[in-house]
Amino acid sequence: MGRQANHTPHEKRRGWLRHGNSPGDFSLAPRCEARTRRGTPCQCPAMRNGRCRLHGGLSTGPRTAEGIERIRRASMTHGRRSQAAKAEQRSLRDLMKDCRLLLNQLAEAPDGDQA
Ligand SMILES: [Zn+2]
């Protein structure tokens, strides 16, 4: 059982490779093209999700609601522009506007009204 030089194509092999990669010429496979630390695109063959095994190709993504929440928290920078923060800022702005209006009304009102 040695490796034989076989120059004829493998006509019997028609199945898919592992991880859903298509059979055929390896060099024609779509490339990952993730940005590497050198700044150049990754040249590894891409998996079904478009990335190679080193750049997220093996990742199945979050499977549970807890996993989604963990990723959401990890990718949030500071949250000052989140929906909750914007709603809080809006309510505080409205409260300040109401206070300002009330103070102006009190300042304009004659002293006799308070009695
Ligand atoms: Zn890659």
Each of the 115 residues of the chain gets a pLDDT tens digit; together they read: 445 555 566 566 667 777 776 677 778 889 999 999 999 999 999 988 899 999 999 988 889 999 999 998 999 999 999 999 999 999 999 999 999 999 999 999 877 555 4
- For residue 67, the CA-to-ligand 1 centroid distance in Å is 23
- For residue 41, the CA-to-ligand 1 centroid distance in Å is 8
- For residue 34, the CA-to-ligand 1 centroid distance in Å is 5
d(CA 14, CA 23): 7
Structure token digits, residue 11: 């006509």
Q: pTM (2 decimals)?
A: 0.42
- For residue 43, the CA-to-ligand 1 centroid distance in Å is 6
Of 39, 40, 41, 20, the closest CA to residue 31 belongs to: 41
